Amino acid sequence: MKTETRNNVVHTIPLGTARLRLLVLGLVRVAVPPLAAVAAAWAVEPQLNADGSARLAYLVLVAVLALSAVDNTLTNATERTYRRAYGRVHGPRSWSCEDCGRQITAREWTPFDAAAFETHLADPRAHGCTHS
C-alpha cells in the first residue's frame, strides 16, 4: 500500500491557526469534562440526605455520569473542527492499493481515519481488488 502527502492544496485556514486550534481543542477536551464532573458533584451535594459512604457513592456516581455525558457531547461537537485542523497541520493524504491502484484521498483526516483507510485497502475483497 502506498501513502503520500500532498501539499499543493489551497487551505481555508492558515497553518498557525490550525496548530492553535489543535492546541485549544486538546486543552478543552482534557479540561472541561473533569470540571463538569466536579461542578455536577458540587451542585448535587447539598441535596443529598445520605451520610458517610453512601453520600460519597452518590457524589462519585453523579461525577462519573457528568464526565461521560460532557466528554461524549464535547467530542461530537468538536470532531469536524479537529479533523479540519489535523488535516491542515499534517497535510492532505492519499492512500492507494499497490495492486489495483484504487485510491482514497482525504483533506480532513485523523490517525483513526488513516488506520481505517489502510485496513480497507489492505483487504482485497473490501475494495474489490482483482489483482490479489
Count the helix, strand and coil residues of the chain and give each as a percent rounded to the nearest 5: 65, 10, 25
65-123: per-residue pLDDT in tens? 999 999 999 989 998 888 888 888 888 888 888 888 888 988 888 888 888 998 998 88
pTM above 0.85, yes or no: no
Residue 94 parent element (H or E): strand 93-96
Q: Look up residue 125 and give its three cell numbers.
A: 475483497
Joined grid coordinates for residue 29 = 477536551
